[in-house]
Each structure stands twice: as structure tokens, then as C-alpha cells.
Amino acid sequence: MEAKRVLGPEISLILVSVPEASKFHGNTGMAKIADAFWFKRER
């Protein structure tokens, strides 16, 4: 995901979506949390 690459490993990125869009956002490589996805901070 471009945003994660640009922002770097010291951030957490949360994508909140409506339940109907969760299949669409499931291809981002982000971990799924209840109706949302995120990249956990690496540092």
C-alpha cells in the first residue's frame, strides 16, 4: 500500500469502512478488525 510506504514504519494506519465495503478493502494486505483494517506500527 502506497500510504504505508510513504509514511514509514513508525505509524499505525487505520482504514474504517462500512460493512458492505469490507470485501473491497480486504485486498489491501491490512489486518482486519471489526469493520476496519489496519497496519500495525513496526517501531
The candidate with the shortest Cα–Cα distance to 17, out of 37, 41, 39, 31, is: 37
CA 8 to chain centre: 13
User: H-helix or E-strand containing 15?
Assistant: strand 13-16
Number of domains in the chain: 1
The confidence score (pLDDT) of residue 35 equals: 67
At 4-36, the pLDDT tens digits run: 888 888 888 877 877 787 777 777 788 777 767
The confidence score (pLDDT) of residue 13 equals: 81
- Would you give the DSSP letter of residue 13? E
pLDDT bin (cut points 50, 70, 90) of residue 39 is confident
The confidence score (pLDDT) of residue 9 equals: 85
Beta partners for residue 37, in sequence order: 15, 32
Domain of 22 in residue numbering reads as 2-39
